[in-house]
Structure 1
Amino acid sequence: MKNVSILVPESCVMQAVADPRYLFTAVNQFLSISGSPPLFNVELVGLNKEVQLNEGIFTVHMDRCISEVDKTDLIFIPALFGDMETAIKANEELVPWIVDQYQKGAEVASLCVGAFLLASTGLLDGKKCSTHWGFANEFRALFPKVEVVDGSIITEEVRLYSSGGANSYWNLLLHLVEKYTDRETAILASKYFAIDIDRDNQAAFAMFKGQKNHNDEEVLQTQEFIENNITERLSVDDLAESVAMNRRSLERRFKKATNNTVLEYIQRVKIESAKRSFESSRKNISEVMYDVGYTDSKAFRMVFKKITGLTPAEYRNKYNKMAA
């Protein structure tokens, strides 16, 4: 029997507590129906017997306090809610228990922005991690020793698991079900909960927002120039000249400030504009391609798929009802 402890921190997302409990309880039922014994002992655990969420609208009752859990096999850290630094501070008393259980052999899985609490333990230092694409830059700023894997649905390293944004955590839950049971049971669960079991990238859902929470004035000017000239074919040399810098200095400072090279930033701005066009207009692929400054259809398709995980046609058909 595997002991599964679903942690209930202060300021967490209730659904990210309920979903893993529902899934692993359902898997026990699937196993029973097939004639196998239940595999998971699923418990909600927390610092206290009750945790109030959503400003007291919901109250979650623990099966046990963490002080009563000497050893567990798998810990789930649900997504946090609100300001991440405030949420981390509110739950700092949970950190020693998480570290202790990990050192005793437990596996630890963070769901979405639960990665912030997992990273605060120090266990992720020097390791890879996934989190919601919209919080990736804030995560990097708070935890520079952790390597964020952009666009990844699931990251696994040395008994530590993390997932991408929002409902992406279902893919991590199914991954762990498959690990502890078998592929057949995981597929059954994916069908029961209507989840695409093999989705491995959240890039198609990401919205690029240029990283501007820095104080490098020349880099900000360069970002604004790129964003205001989407239709142009921009070169790094021309951009460097526009802010009276040499190319090497601009590239170094740009990467430090934005976590993107200049070329990557140009590509992401252009592809973000193309995505919006595919979502809201009847323009064909060639028209959109020219609108964002590409003349080579092969290059455009290649960059678009690299950033979104989908071809331009797949993206348009997925997100534009008029096109579909």
Structure 2
Amino acid sequence: MKHVSILIPQGHCSLVNIEGTHQILSEVNILCTRMGKAPLFDIRMVGLSKEASQRDGLFTIKPDCLLHEVVKTDLIIIPAMHGHFQKIVENNQPFIPWILQQYNNGAEVASLCIGSFFLAATGLLTGKPCATHWRFANEFRAMYPDVQLVDDKIITDGEGIYTSGGAYSYLNLLVYMIEKYAGRDIAILIAKAFMIDIDRMLQSPFIIFQGQKSHEDETIKKAQEYIEKNFEEKITVDQLADTFAVGRRSLERRFKKATCNTVTEYIQRVKIEAAKKDLESGRKNVLEVMYDVGYSDVKAFRSIFKKITGLSPIEYRNKYNKELLVID
């Protein structure tokens, strides 16, 4: 039987991550029993105190056991933790050496959503790929530049460490792990029982590009604003460099450092975000939307759109526009 430790942090954390993980893994045990097999998981909620208050006392979690009582575990689940990061680490510091010790003794570790920030604080993600909620990708990159953030992915799996994308995509990671531990048949049964879209690997269709302006380079902020106001036009790097009196190489270097995108990538993402909004709510066909956001090459537009969203323009429109469930 695999011993599973669901961490119960101090401070505001995701009740959904905790309860959902407990419920789904418990259901795996029920299915195994019905099939004449032994239960697969010994599920424990592991905390630092006998009670953990949530949402200003609206909820209280009572862990099954305290951290020092768990000598050996096989899988550690880190839920999303909300609030000021440094305070989160301070309040939950005892978990860090314990996680490292358990990992070095063979345990696997999984972070759910922005639980990746706490997992990264252990150092276990250094040099490794990691997923997190797309809304916090910029903050994560700034805080952990040595981690390979893949903000378009829902799941990463490497060297006994798992991470998941944002919010309810933790369900996809659970199904993925259940398949590894219990087999495809049980994973499919769980996916059907909880109506989870099995094998969904990308969070790209859900990303809303909002620009990366939490930096101090005012010239680059002005360049970003210029792109956002004039995205329908053909904008070049040389044009931006001339407009803001910056050398081309300097502009490209500073832009990449400030936004984590090249100038070309930023222009593309602004154009595609505008196209997404038109496809979601308008009655224009794909070609009209393409021209409106400044593209004239159909193949290039479709290629860039799919690269950024994970869907073709038609697939995206059919997914999000209720009025136009047709194919061009």
Above 0.5 in TM-score? yes
Q: Equivalent residues in 2 for 1:233-244 (5 A)?
A: 233-244=234-245
Is the 2:176–2:199 contact (alpha carbons within 8 Å) kept by the matching residues of 1?
no
Matched residues in 1 for 2:305 and 2:127: separation? 30
State the number of aligned residues: 324
- CA-CA distance at 1:201 after TM superposition: 0.3
In structure 1, what is the equivalent of residue 9 of structure 2? 9
Matched residues in 1 for 2:98 and 2:55: separation? 24
Query: 1:134-170 deviations in whole A, cap 9, x for unaligned?
Result: 0011111111221101211101121111000111111
Q: Equivalent residues in 2 for 1:106-145 (5 A)?
A: 106-145=107-146
AA in 1 matched with 2:308? I
In structure 1, what is the equivalent of residue 292 of structure 2? 291
Q: What SS does structure 2 have at the residue aligned with 1:96?
A: helix
Matched residues in 1 for 2:114 and 2:136: separation? 8
In structure 2, what is the equivalent of residue 28 of structure 1? 29
Query: 1:257-312 deviations in whole A, cap 9, x for unaligned?
Result: 11000000000000011111111211111111111101111111110000000111
User: Can you give the 5+ residue segments of structure 2 that lack an aligned partner in the other structure?
Assistant: none
Q: Please, what TM-score do these two structures have when normalized by structure 1?
A: 0.98
Matched residues in 1 for 2:278 and 2:90: separation? 41
AA in 1 matched with 2:172? N
Matched residues in 1 for 2:68 and 2:45: separation? 13
In structure 2, what is the equivalent of residue 151 of structure 1? 152
1:75 aligns with 2:76: yes
Q: Equivalent residues in 2 for 1:41-56 (5 A)?
A: 41-56=42-57
Is the 1:88–1:116 contact (alpha carbons within 8 Å) kept by the matching residues of 2?
no
- CA-CA distance at 1:82 after TM superposition: 3.0
In structure 1, what is the equivalent of residue 268 of structure 2? 267
- CA-CA distance at 1:213 after TM superposition: 1.1
AA in 2 matched with 1:235? T
Is the 2:33–2:39 contact (alpha carbons within 8 Å) kept by the matching residues of 1?
yes
Matched residues in 1 for 2:113 and 2:287: separation? 36
User: Can you give the 5+ residue segments of structure 1 that lack an aligned partner in the other structure?
Assistant: none
- CA-CA distance at 1:89 after TM superposition: 2.8
Identity of aligned residues (%): 56
Matched residues in 1 for 2:292 and 2:120: separation? 41
Matched residues in 2 for 1:320 and 1:71: separation? 50
| RMSD over aligned Cα atoms | 1.0
AA in 2 matched with 1:295? S
Could you say if the C-alpha distance between residues 287 and 157 of structure 1 is closer, same or farther in structure 2, counting changes exceeding 3 Å?
A: same
Q: Which moved more, 1:277-286 or 1:89-98?
A: 89-98
1:197 aligns with 2:194: no
Query: 1:28-61 deviations in whole A, cap 9, x for unaligned?
Result: 0111111111111011111112111111110011
Is the 1:129–1:146 contact (alpha carbons within 8 Å) kept by the matching residues of 2?
yes
AA in 1 matched with 2:193? Y
Q: What SS does structure 1 have at the residue aligned with 2:162?
A: strand
Q: Please, what TM-score do these two structures have when normalized by structure 2?
A: 0.97
Matched residues in 1 for 2:57 and 2:93: separation? 20
Q: What SS does structure 2 have at the residue aligned with 1:92?
A: coil
Q: Which moved more, 1:92-101 or 1:254-263?
A: 92-101
In structure 2, what is the equivalent of residue 97 of structure 1? 98
